[in-house]
């Protein structure tokens, strides 16, 4: 049986996406944007993202954070966009066969049209200067953080794991 992504993987990606750029909280804006954690969990499960895809997504988001100036500010939906773009790119670099960008339109509940997903994909690649490598060091670092998140989740009282 294939090893499927856990809540810890999702939490790790949420953490990474939220840290890339300072965004105003989604609650202050219109209600069309779902909370980031909910959005990540929804898209990741619909895209049947594997654990390695989510680890690469995390590594790409971390790399984007390091490349953006700390003064950069985003819109309420910027973290969502960054996550979606990173997931699209990570899925392509990890899998021989993967969903088309078109599929992610419905995975994201139509929050972003195809043209925006294509745009955010290329913008993320621009930020990353097309460096989508995932080295052993990246893997180790991301796994270490995954274990931290797993530990934090295990320490939570039962019934409120996410």
Partner 1 sequence: MAKRELQELTSVSLARTPMPDPTNFLGSCVSVSVFEKLGRVGEGTYGVVYKARDTRSASTATSRIVALKRIRMENEADGLPVSSLREIALLKSISHENVVRVQEVCVGSSLDQIFMVMEYCEIDLASLMDNVIAKLRPNKFLPTETKSDFGLARKFSEPPRPMTPKVVTLWYRSPEILLGEKSYTVAADMWSVGCILGELIKNSPLLPGKIEKNQFELISNLLGPPNTKIWPGFTSLPLSSLFKFESQHFSQVRSVLSNASAQAVELVLDLLVYDPARRIDVGRALRHPYFRKEGPNPCLPSALRMRLDESSMSRPSGYDGSTKDEFGYRRRNDELYRGNAVASVLKRRLDGGDPDEPERRKSNYTRSSARFRDRETEELVLGARPFQQFDFNNGRNK
User: What is the binding site for partner 1 (CB under 8 A)?
Assistant: 2-3, 21, 29-30, 32-33, 50-52, 55, 67-69, 71-77, 88-89, 92-94, 96-98, 100-102, 109-115, 117-119, 121-123, 125-134, 139, 143
Q: Which is nearer to partner 1, 112 or 156 (CB)?
A: 112
Q: How far is the CB of 15 from partner 1 (least distance, A)?
A: 19
Residue 107 and residue 105: Cα distance in Å, rounded? Answer: 6
Closest CB to partner 1 among 75 and 162? 75
Q: What phi and psi values does residue 50 have, to the nearest 5 degrees?
A: -85, 165
**Nearest alpha carbon to residue 80 among 51, 55, 116, 52:** 116
Nearer to partner 1, 45 or 95 (CB): 95
State in angstroms the smallest separation of the CB of 162 from partner 1.
22
Instruction: For helices 51-67 and 78-94, give the axis angle rounded to 10 degrees.
Output: 130
Handedness of CA 78, 129, 145, 55 (dihedral sign): positive
The CB-of-113 to partner 1 minimum distance in angstroms stands at 5
Comparison of 40 and 108: residue with beta carbon closer to partner 1: 108
Q: Which is nearer to partner 1, 37 or 138 (CB)?
A: 138
User: Are 115 and 102 contacting, i.e. CB atoms less than 8 angstroms apart?
Assistant: no
**What is the smallest separation between the CB atom of 161 and partner 1, expressed in angstroms?**
22
The rounded distance, in Å, linking the Cα atoms of 91 and 95 is 6
Q: How far is the CB of 19 from partner 1 (least distance, A)?
A: 15
φ/ψ of 68, rounded to 5, equals -85, 145
């Amino acid at each position: 049986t294939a090893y499927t992504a856990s809540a810890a993987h999702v939490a790790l990606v949420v953490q990474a996406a939220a840290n890339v750029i300072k965004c105003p909280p989604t609650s202050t804006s219109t209600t069309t944007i779902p909370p980031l954690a909910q959005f990540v969990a929804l898209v990741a499960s619909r895209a049947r993202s594997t654990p390695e895809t989510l680890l690469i997504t995390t590594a790409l988001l971390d790399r984007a954070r390091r490349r953006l100036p700390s003064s950069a500010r985003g819109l309420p939906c910027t973290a969502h966009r960054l996550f979606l773009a990173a997931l699209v790119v990570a899925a392509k670099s990890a899998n021989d066969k993967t969903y088309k960008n078109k599929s992610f339109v419905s995975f994201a509940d139509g929050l972003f049209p195809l043209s925006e997903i294509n745009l955010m994909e290329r913008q993320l690649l621009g930020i990353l200067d097309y460096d989508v490598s995932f080295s052993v060091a990246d893997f180790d670092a991301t796994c270490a953080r995954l274990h931290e998140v797993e530990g934090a989740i295990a320490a939570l009282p039962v019934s409120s794991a996410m």
